[in-house]
A and B are shown apart, each in its own frame.
Chain A
Amino acid sequence: MRGHGFLLANYVPGNSLIHRSPLALKFLLVFSCGLASFIIVDWRVSLAVLGGLAGLFLLAGAGLKRLWTAVRPLAAVLLVIGLFQWWQLGAPTAARIVLNILVCVVAASLLTATTPVQSLLDGVVKAATPFRRFGADPERFALTIGIMLRSIPYIAGTFADVRDSARARGLERNPRALILPVFITSVAFARQTGEALAARGLGDAED
Chain B
Amino acid sequence: MPAVTFDQVTVAVERDHAPEPKVLLNEVNLRLEERRIGVIGANGSGKSTLLRLVNGLVQPTAGTVSVDGDDTVRAVRKVRRNVGFVFTDPLSQLVMPTGREDVELSLRRGVKNGAERRNKAEAALEGLGLQHLADQSIYELSGGERQLMALAAVLAVNPSVLVLDEPSTLLDLRNRELLRRTLSGLDQQIIMSTHDLDLALEMDRVLVIEQGEVSFDGGPAEAVAAYRALCMDGFQARGPVNQ
Contact = CB atoms under 8 A, between A and B. Distances in A.
Contacts of A147: 95
B77 A204 contact: yes
Nearest to B85: A199
Contacts of B91: 1, 3
Identify which of A118, A189, A193, A198 gathers the most chain B CB atoms within 10 Å of its CB. A118
Contacts, number: 87
A192 interface: yes
B57 A193 contact: no
Identify which of B55, B84, B97 gathers the most chain A CB atoms within 10 Å of its CB. B97
B112 to A, nearest CB: 9
Interface in A1-31: 1, 3-4, 6, 10-11, 13
A61 interface: no
B224 interface: no
A13 B154 CA distance: 24
B135 A3 contact: no
Contacts of A116: 101
A118 B92 contact: no
Given A195-B57, A204-B77, A189 B92 contact: yes
B109 A202 contact: yes
B139 A3 contact: yes
A117 B106 CA distance: 13
A132 to B, nearest CB: 14
B135 A200 contact: no
Nearest to B103: A118
Given A13-B135, A198-B57, A199-B80, A193 B97 contact: no
A76 B55 CA distance: 45
Contacts of B93: 196, 199
B35 interface: no
A197 B95 contact: yes
B95 A193 contact: yes
A207 B89 CA distance: 30
21 contacts: A4-B137, A6-B97, A6-B137, A13-B135, A116-B101, A117-B98, A121-B105, A146-B95, A146-B96, A147-B95, A150-B95, A150-B96, A150-B97, A193-B95, A196-B93, A200-B80, A200-B106, A201-B77, A201-B80, A201-B109, A207-B77
Interface of A: 1, 3-4, 6, 10-11, 13, 116-119, 121-122, 139, 142-143, 146-147, 149-150, 189, 192-193, 195-202, 204, 207
